Chain A
Amino acid sequence: MRGERGPGEICEVNAQNETVNSHTIAVLVDNEPGVLARVIGLFSGRGYNIESLTVAKTDNVNNMSRITIVTTGTPMIIEQIKAQLSRLVPIHNVKDLTIESASVERELALVKVVGEGEKRVESLRIADIFRARVVDSSNESFVFEIVGDTGKLDAFIRLMEPLGLADVSRTGVVAISRGVKAMDVAY
């Protein structure tokens, strides 16, 4: 599933000796029923990967949602994914944040760790280093909230494993370009 490396880095090389990269793609869509099914159907129907997908309404005036998709593929496949997405009628704008501009990416995770004694103290210590917050605690458990890029979350979760990692819920990646330029609605 989730790659250990950050987006944009070379993940692997396929059988045809082409490099397979991870890309973060932002998509502005009409907020209407079925639109998410169209996007997901396109990925499953054509055999593309979805590493992560997030969606929420972001524009009340135009009633639009923003989808952030992290996907992997050769440059030719990534180009296809973008062209295929752009072709869908309720999709207004497609932006490849990995290559079109510098961008900021964040993910949030809630991590439940169950344990007692020394392990419990150790988990708190690590959480502190990672700036994870305790959002729930009982005598035998913590729920940590951690925000960061995918790599940071992966690292934190890995460290929690021997300390009683019980449950993880992640939002998936959201991303936005750096600088003044915004993503327009493109009518």
Chain B
Amino acid sequence: MVSKELTGSEIVLKALEEQGVTEIFGYPGGAVLPIYDAIFNQNQIRHILVRQEGGAVHAAEGYARSTGKVGIVLVTSGPGATNAVTGLTDALMDSIPIICLTGQVPTHLIGNDAFQEADTTGITRPCTKHNYLVKDVNDLARVMHEAFHVATSGRPGPVLIDLPKDVLMAVGTYKPKSKIKVRNYNPSVKGDLNAIKHAVETIAKAKKPLIYAGGGVINSGPAASKLLTQFVKMTGAPCTLTLMGLGAFPASNKQFIGMLGMHGTYEANLAMHDCDVMVCIGARFDDRVTGRLDAFSPGSTKIHVDIDPSSINKNVRVDIPIIGDVGHVLEDMIKVWKGTQAKIDAKALKAWWQEMNAWRSVDCLKFKQEGKVIKPQHALTRLWELCREAKKEPYVTTEVGQHQMWAAQYLGFEKPNQWMTSGGLGTMGYGLPAAMGVQVAHPKELVVCVAGEASYLMNVQELSTISQYRLPVKSFILNNFYLGMVRQWQELLHGQRYSESYMNSLPDFVKLAETFNMVGLRATKPSELDDVIKEMIKIDKPVIADIHVDQMENVFPMIPSGAAHNEMLLGPEDETEKPISEEGMVLV
């Protein structure tokens, strides 16, 4: 190929095209007009015009999480870039590969407080995996390709490229991907074989083994989920998943004991506490998972597989660290397991499962649907059952709050990449734009955003985007007229003083749907629920389903902040018996 002279904008688009990008989410402005001009002149890449830059980043996150591809964002300088900051932080916390292209004032004006100038690389340094300011058009192709490498290798994350307008308009040479050598960042993917052997021996000798897997399995790709499933079955051990890991192991499998952590199942958390060998795969001992650190799984030998060395020994001391890609390491673990004909003592395993079954019999997720109000747990259970009846396996995004936790508890995911939620940052306003991004990637599939009415309003402007592109996103709003999760904490920790947590003056969601040329549905009593869900699934248009649910319902089980796994609250009866400690109050 003879290298041809292109403008900076053309180089940007050519690099995106070479990287296999087909969709980008963006919003124009002065500094990026040259790129929009280049977009106008081509047909390879489709641009989705969002309604606020924050929506673009979450949409790209949903797109990335549901496909395994990199999500691309294009925004202007100044306010465009600052609006993207929340989404970048969200993607950093949840390890989502994103490339965010921001416009910048021309290089000779940088530092002059020029119109719509912001120190974008300065602002985003702590909330991106890496960022670049390109000052020479001849560096542009290299930076673009390097950004893809950085965003996707090792622990994935967001990368930002700041593009001064004069660089976009200057003329330079394009370099194809194959000509670019990334000279530093090359994280290793293979785990140390000796450590893997040691791990396998340790697991084989366990009496109470437990496999605890997380979002790293999903990031590693669908093959890693298959390998995880195979490994769990080989060992016969119980498996629990983090919020980010749901779908990495099939929920219907007998060895799945549910999600763990603050709102995890009784059996999962007690198994964490009591196990003698813990195998943590692609998870990071987050504080939502560990509870009180000094009481965390006191008697277990801990094995930790992670691609990011900084995740090892950060919160919890582990005995056998294995640094590498989860998929590669699982493959080796399976080989060694087979090769050494490892086997966990059958009697011990049986006794362990008996303990497990006793905990399971507590049935910690039970609820009673009775009376005139819809229980949120019932709404989600019916949503899932009716999807199954209609032979649909929906992609689900959530907002943040009680509804998010109920969705994690009551929807059983069988496959990876079907579940998109803001775990690390807990960003209200994530779910609707994320669903939009998922639907762009999977136009024919059923995509449901399980929302709380308050979170929904945080990026509600994206309904306009959804309408414009005829994206048949289904919004399933569990409307409790409260910042429910805040209200729950106020009930349990602040003497029922419901300060500023009631949602007054909510819009009429049915009418809201109609103004955007969507279908609005409402269920206010149990008898209406099934029809609304069936209708929602059937209609091939965007739908907002406003489900009025019990306003005072709480999420249980709950490990209050500062408590240990075995100090879990199972339901309202437990609240008075186990008051929350002073030290716990300061934690979030």
Residues on A close to B: CB < 8 A?
30, 33-34, 37-38, 41, 45, 76, 79-80, 83-84, 86-92, 186-187
Contacts and interface: CB of A to CB of B under 8 A. Distances in A.
19 contacts: A33-B133, A37-B125, A45-B126, A76-B313, A76-B317, A79-B313, A80-B314, A83-B309, A83-B312, A84-B310, A87-B154, A87-B308, A87-B309, A87-B310, A88-B130, A89-B185, A90-B184, A92-B184, A187-B184
Given A76-B317, A84-B310, A91 B184 contact: yes
Of A79, A87, A186, most B-chain CB atoms within 10 Å: A87
A186 to B, nearest CB: 8
Given A86-B309, A87-B154, 15 more contacts: A34-B133, A41-B126, A76-B313, A76-B317, A80-B313, A80-B314, A83-B308, A83-B310, A83-B312, A84-B310, A86-B310, A88-B130, A89-B150, A89-B185, A187-B186
Contacts of A84: 310
B20 to A, nearest CB: 22
Contact of B130 (A76, A83, A89): A89
B289 to A, nearest CB: 18
A39 to B, nearest CB: 11
A117 to B, nearest CB: 51
A31 to B, nearest CB: 13
B85 to A, nearest CB: 15
Contacts of B129: 89
Nearest to A90: B184
A99 B314 CA distance: 20
A31 B314 CA distance: 29
Nearest to A87: B310
Interface string B68-99: 00000000000000000000000000000000
B122 interface: yes
A80 B122 contact: no
Contact of A89 (B121, B126, B184, B314): B184
Contacts of A186: 184
Interface string B149-164: 0100010000000000
Nearest to A79: B313
A86 B312 CA distance: 13
Nearest to A29: B184
Nearest to A44: B126
Nearest to B183: A187
Contact of A34 (B125, B183, B314): B125
Interface residues of B, number: 20
Nearest to B315: A76
A89 B312 CA distance: 19
A43 to B, nearest CB: 12
A38 B317 contact: no
A80 B150 CA distance: 21
A106 to B, nearest CB: 28
Contacts of A33: 133
Nearest to A38: B125
* Leading 4 A-B pairs by shortest Cβ distance: A83-B310, A89-B130, A83-B309, A89-B185
Nearest to B130: A89
Contacts of B310: 80, 83-84, 86-87
Contacts of B183: 187
A111 B184 CA distance: 41
A88 B154 CA distance: 12
Nearest to B308: A87
A34 B121 contact: yes
B158 to A, nearest CB: 13
Interface string B302-331: 000000111011100100000000000000
Contacts of B126: 41, 45
Contacts of B150: 89
Interface string B112-152: 00000000011001100110010000000000000000100
A37 B309 contact: no
A65 to B, nearest CB: 13
A80 B314 CA distance: 6
Nearest to B125: A41
Nearest to B181: A187
A105 to B, nearest CB: 26
A117 B312 CA distance: 61
Nearest to A45: B126
A84 to B, nearest CB: 5
A34 B317 CA distance: 33
B225 to A, nearest CB: 25
A187 B182 CA distance: 9
A37 B313 contact: no
B309 A30 contact: no
Nearest to B149: A89
Nearest to A75: B313
Nearest to A92: B184
A183 to B, nearest CB: 14
A91 B309 CA distance: 15
A79 B321 CA distance: 13
Contacts of B314: 80
Contacts of B313: 76, 79-80
Nearest to A16: B294
Contacts of B184: 30, 89-92, 186-187
Contacts of B154: 87
A40 B205 CA distance: 45
Contacts of B317: 76
A164 to B, nearest CB: 42
A92 to B, nearest CB: 5
A34 B131 CA distance: 10
A85 to B, nearest CB: 9
A37 B185 CA distance: 18
A34 B120 CA distance: 12
A66 to B, nearest CB: 15
A80 B313 CA distance: 8
Nearest to A62: B183
A32 B309 CA distance: 25
A163 to B, nearest CB: 44
B145 to A, nearest CB: 14
A38 B317 CA distance: 27
Contacts of A45: 126
Nearest to B131: A34
| A38, A45, A80, A84, most chain B CB atoms within 10 A | A80
